[in-house]
Structure formats: structure tokens, C-alpha cells
């Protein structure tokens, strides 16, 4: 670790997940840094929001200096809050960005994701989700496809598991020796639809964020697959890490009662999923209701207010630390 790093990094927004695994909460989303101690290399998992690059670099310098440049960036998926700083970081570091094959259209400028579902329910963030960007982004210059065998570049102790539903090429990362699971948004550990749960970081193991999940049958299968691993520690794209027997009970309860606990009663994708292939989205169900311009403006104002609050809170934490 570099002793001269400023205190802006050493605050409540970064945390240890497990040996060689750290997380950074930037706004309302997490990114993870995984160290390969044998080869003295590290990998960034997800890239947060567009504004996240500086904090990611600062934490990398604190943890890994003088080797603060990663070997690669690995994306669990490409939604705007997980890919935001990927292009800037990949350009600055000149490193590859890896994603699963089915995620490529949304990362190479070919196709936007299925539209968000503001009728999915659960809280304010669902209600305003119609204004969330759905891409595509284009990081084709750095983009590489993960191998079919589940191996992860530069991380021989880890494998990835294709866990679609929240997005077509969503993956989760698994370290078997100590049963550490980075689940991305296959499930999360706070009610991401609720602005109050997000602000408080209330620990509650729930399904994938409703507003972006386009295939609930696939999402259910993915949660069942992850529950069967019997993880000891789970760290997700939103919320704080959870561990131990109580966590596993919650995860199995979610897997066993997924339709009742996770699936919206009356969402756009509740009865019929979107359809996506290797070229991107090919079919989208009709919306439950049309969003009026007035609602869209109100949603946009709410998002701006939420973003301003998160920025204020982050700066306040930095000053106090």
C-alpha cells in the first residue's frame, strides 16, 4: 500500500470483501478490485458511473502502488452504472475490457438494452427509471470476449458463471476455495428500487434490480444456480457484502420463492420477456402504460435531486475523513 495516498480514498466508501478482494461504493453502485498475489497483478470488476474513474484510480494506487495499473477490466454486465468509467479507464490504462459474448452488442455500439421498466414497482428508483440511459456504449477498441470455459483472464483461482436475466450476458464471479461470490446484479443486498434503502445501504438480500431486469425466468434460474454454490461471502453490484449461514438462508429463500419475492406483479416483462441474441435486442413487449412527458420531466428532476444528494454525501464523507 502507498502511505502517501490522500484521505479521500480512506473513508467509508471502500471495504474489504475477502482476502485479496476489495470493494468501492461510488454513489449507489459497487466496483471490485481482485488481486492475484502470485503473479502480482490485479483486475477491476465493473467500472461504476462516469464520474468514478478518479476514485477507482486513487484506491488502486493506495492498494497496489507501484503496480496500480490493472491487467484488465472485467464487466459483470454493461448497464450504465457498471460501465460508466470503463472507456476512460481502458484508454488511460491501455488495458483490455472483458465481457461475456451475449453482452457484446451493448458494449460495441450495436444495440441498446431493453427499455427500463418504470412500472416494475418497489420504490422511487423504479418509478424514475425511464430516464436511465440504456446505451449502447462503444468500447470496441478494448473489448474482448471471455472464453467459453468459464476461466477468467489473470485470475486462475476464479471462474465466471453466465447468469442472464438482468442482462443477456450477465456474469457472476466465483472463487471456490473460500466460496466467495461476486454476483453483480444477479441478486443484490439492498432494495435497489428504493431510494431510502440505497441511501441507508440497508442490508436485505433481494432479486436483481427490477427496473432493468428483462427476463424473469432466466433471472430465477440464475439465482437458483448461485444459491446452489452455497457461498460463504456474497458481494453484489448494489449493497454491502453479506456472509455466513444467515445469508445462505436468505439466498435459498429467494431462490425457492423467487416469483413471490422478486418478480413484479405488473411490470413490462412480468408476463413476457424481452428477447436478445448475439446482435442485440430482437423483441420487446409492449409497456404497461405510456410515460407522459410530464412524468418524464418529474422523473428527471427526481434523478437529478438523488444524484445531487449522493454527490453531497460523498463529499461530506471525504471532508470528515
Q: Is residue 103 part of a domain?
A: yes
pLDDT at site 201: 75
pLDDT at site 200: 78
Q: DSSP assignment of 101-117, as one string?
A: GGGGGGTBTS-PPPPP-
State the maximum Cα–Cα separation within the chain, in Å, rounded to a whole number.
56
Q: Is residue 63 part of a domain?
A: yes
The string of pLDDT tens digits covering residues 25-47 is 998 999 999 999 999 999 999 99
Q: Which of 93-102, 194-203, 235-244, 290-299 has the lowest mean pLDDT?
A: 290-299
Q: Is residue 151 part of a domain?
A: yes
Q: Is residue 4 part of a domain?
A: no
The string of pLDDT tens digits covering residues 138-165 is 999 999 999 999 999 999 999 999 999 9
The string of pLDDT tens digits covering residues 53-71 is 999 999 999 999 998 999 9
Does the pLDDT at position 6 exceed 80?
Answer: no
Copy the grid coordinates of residue 321: 475523513
pLDDT at site 305: 60
d(CA 261, CA 256): 9
pLDDT at site 7: 46
Q: Is residue 206 part of a domain?
A: yes
- 34: three-class secondary structure by DSSP: strand
More confident residue, 13 or 264: 264
Q: Per-residue confidence at 306, pLDDT binned at 50, 70, 90? A: low
| Four-CA torsion 181, 24, 145, 209, nearest 10 degrees | 70
Q: Which of 7-21, 215-229, 261-275 has the lowest mean pLDDT?
A: 7-21
Q: Is residue 2 part of a domain?
A: no
pLDDT at site 5: 52
The string of pLDDT tens digits covering residues 203-228 is 899 999 999 999 999 999 999 999 99
More confident residue, 52 or 194: 52
* Residue 196 burial (C-beta neighbours within 10 Å; 0-12, 13-18, 19+): exposed
Omega prior to 66 cis, within 30 of 0: yes
Q: Is residue 47 part of a domain?
A: yes
How many structural domains compose the chain? 1
Copy the grid coordinates of residue 266: 405488473
Does the pLDDT at position 202 exceed 80?
Answer: no
Tell me whether strands 41-45 and 72-74 are parallel, antiparallel or unpaired: parallel
Residue ranges making up the domain that contains 266: 14-271+280-320
The string of pLDDT tens digits covering residues 227-238 is 999 999 999 999
Q: DSSP assignment of 244-290, as one string?
A: HHHHHHHHHHHHHTHHHHTS-SS-TTSSS--EEETTEEEE-PPPSSP
Mean pLDDT score of the chain, rounded to an integer? Answer: 90
Q: Per-residue confidence at 292, pLDDT binned at 50, 70, 90? A: very low
* Angle, alpha carbons 288-292-296 (nearest 5°): 105
pLDDT at site 250: 98
Range 83-95 average pLDDT: 98
pLDDT at site 319: 43
Q: Is residue 200 part of a domain?
A: yes
Q: Per-residue confidence at 198, pLDDT binned at 50, 70, 90? A: confident
CATH of the domain at 290: 3.60.15.10
pLDDT at site 321: 44
Range 298-306 average pLDDT: 56
Amino acid at each position: 500500500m502507498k502511505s502517501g495516498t490522500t484521505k479521500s480514498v480512506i473513508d467509508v466508501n471502500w471495504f474489504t470483501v475477502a482476502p485479496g478482494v476489495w470493494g468501492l461504493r461510488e454513489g449507489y453502485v459497487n466496483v471490485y478490485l481482485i488481486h492475484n498475489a502470485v503473479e502480482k497483478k490485479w483486475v477491476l470488476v465493473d467500472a461504476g458511473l462516469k464520474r468514478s474513474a478518479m476514485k477507482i484510480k486513487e484506491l488502486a494506487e493506495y492498494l497496489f502502488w507501484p503496480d496500480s495499473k490493472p491487467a484488465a477490466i472485467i464487466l459483470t454486465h454493461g448497464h450504465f452504472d457498471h460501465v460508466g468509467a470503463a472507456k476512460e479507464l481502458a484508454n488511460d490504462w491501455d488495458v483490455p475490457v472483458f465481457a461475456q459474448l451475449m453482452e457484446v452488442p451493448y458494449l460495441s455500439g450495436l444495440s441498446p438494452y431493453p427499455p427500463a421498466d418504470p412500472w416494475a414497482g418497489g420504490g422511487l428508483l423504479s418509478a424514475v427509471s425511464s430516464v436511465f440511459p440504456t446505451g449502447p456504449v462503444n468500447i470496441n477498441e478494448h473489448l474482448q470476449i471471455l472464453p467459453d470455459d468459464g476461466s477468467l483472464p489473470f485470475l486462475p483461482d476464479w471462474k465466471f458463471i453466465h447468469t442472464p436475466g438482468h442482462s443477456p450476458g450477465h456474469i457472476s464471479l466465483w472463487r471456490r476455495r473460500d466460496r466467495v461470490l461476486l454476483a453483480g446484479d444477479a441478486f443484490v443486498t439492498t432494495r435497489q428500487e428504493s431510494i431510502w434503502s440505497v441511501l441507508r445501504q440497508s442490508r436485505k438480500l433481494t432479486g436483481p434490480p427490477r427496473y432493468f431486469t428483462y427476463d424473469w425466468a432466466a433471472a430465477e434460474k440464475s439465482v437458483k444456480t448461485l444459491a446452489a454454490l452455497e457461498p460463504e461471502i456474497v458481494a453484489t453490484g448494489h449493497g454491502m457484502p453479506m456472509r455466513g449461514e444467515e445469508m445462505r438462508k436468505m439466498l435459498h429463500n429467494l431462490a425457492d420463492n423467487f416469483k413471490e419475492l422478486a418478480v413484479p406483479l405488473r411490470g413490462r416483462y412480468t408476463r413476457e420477456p424481452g428477447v436478445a441474441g448475439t446482435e442485440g435486442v430482437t423483441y420487446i413487449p409492449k409497456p404497461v402504460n405510456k410515460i407522459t412527458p410530464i412524468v418524464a420531466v418529474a422523473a428527471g428532476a427526481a434523478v437529478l435531486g438523488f444524484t445531487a444528494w449522493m454527490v453531497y454525501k460523498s463529499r461530506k464523507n471525504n471532508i470528515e475523513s
